[in-house]
Amino acid sequence: MTYSVKELYFTLQGEGANAGRPAVLLRFAGCNLWTGREQDRARAVCRFCDTDFFGTDGTGGGKFRTAGELASSVRETWPRDLTPIPPLHSVERGDVEMRPFVVCTGGEPLLQLDAPLIDALHRDGFEIAVESNGTIPALPGIDWLCVSPKADASLVQQSGDELKLVYPQERGAPERYAALDFRHFFLQPMDGPDLSRNTALAERYCLEHPQWRLSLQMHKLVGLR
């Protein structure tokens, strides 16, 4: 298959349980909850998205004809002289192996991420993280799965490593998701003109419900891409 990639670059993971970890960010183009066009936002299932995933014109973006071609570009994006930081869950398992890290996001990465690409990235030594809206079942072989549910979309994937809920969402109260099978639960304040208010609401909820932790978008706070 041909993979459509909006952008591909080296950075620090900006949010969630792996925040601060060096990573190759692989942003796939396209989503099943919004076209990415502003003129369609009012009719979208997810109307608060703050990410540009439309097209293939970003840094490192383009069309990749094979899994091997895309995996090769991911490998070339990881600095050759960098010593990767061991992931927290590997340390907890007693596994001290250190691997480079790729975060597959979008849009919705599971529209394109497939078994051949997972295999190709693993052959190149990468640990694979996926950030999904949870409307598509996750494939075997994903090393770290973050699901960010949208209140007006069906949540098909109800287990994983990390549930990251943009907060607040009408009809998307945290209680709706608290019993699902995830290791970590995060509230992430909804960006936009009400960010300060939303941050205060999320902070208060986390203080009152210790199952949940506050996730801030570090990349925006410190000016990372």
Question: Per-residue pLDDT tens for 23-74?
Answer: 999 999 999 999 999 999 999 999 999 899 999 999 999 999 999 999 999 9
Distance CA 7, CA 44 (A): 23
Pairing of strands 3-12, 62-64: antiparallel
Helix (H) or strand (E) holding 31: none
Report residue 218 as tokens: 């570090």
Distance CA 161, CA 159 (A): 7
The residues, any chain, with a CB within 8 Å of residue 220's CB and separated by 6 or more, are 14, 191
3-state secondary structure of 109: helix
How high is the pLDDT of residue 82?
A: 75
Print burial letters for 165-202: b (CB count within 10 Å at least 16), e (below 16): bbbbbeebebeebeebebebbbbbbbbeeeeeebbebb
Report residue 56 as tokens: 């293939």
How high is the pLDDT of residue 89?
A: 54
How high is the pLDDT of residue 84?
A: 56
Report residue 134 as tokens: 């949870």
The percent of residues above 70 in pLDDT, for the chain, comes to 93
Single-letter amino acid, residue 80: R
H helices of the chain, where?
67-77, 88-93, 115-123, 195-208, 218-222
How high is the pLDDT of residue 113?
A: 98
How high is the pLDDT of residue 96?
A: 41
Confidence of residue 215 (pLDDT cuts 50, 70, 90): very high
Domains and CATH numbers, the chain: 3-166 (3.20.20.70)
Question: Per-residue pLDDT tens for 80-133?
Answer: 887 554 555 554 444 545 789 999 999 999 999 999 999 999 999 999 999 999
In this structure, what DSSP letter does residue 211 have? Answer: T
The percent of residues above 90 in pLDDT, for the chain, comes to 86
pTM of the model: 0.92
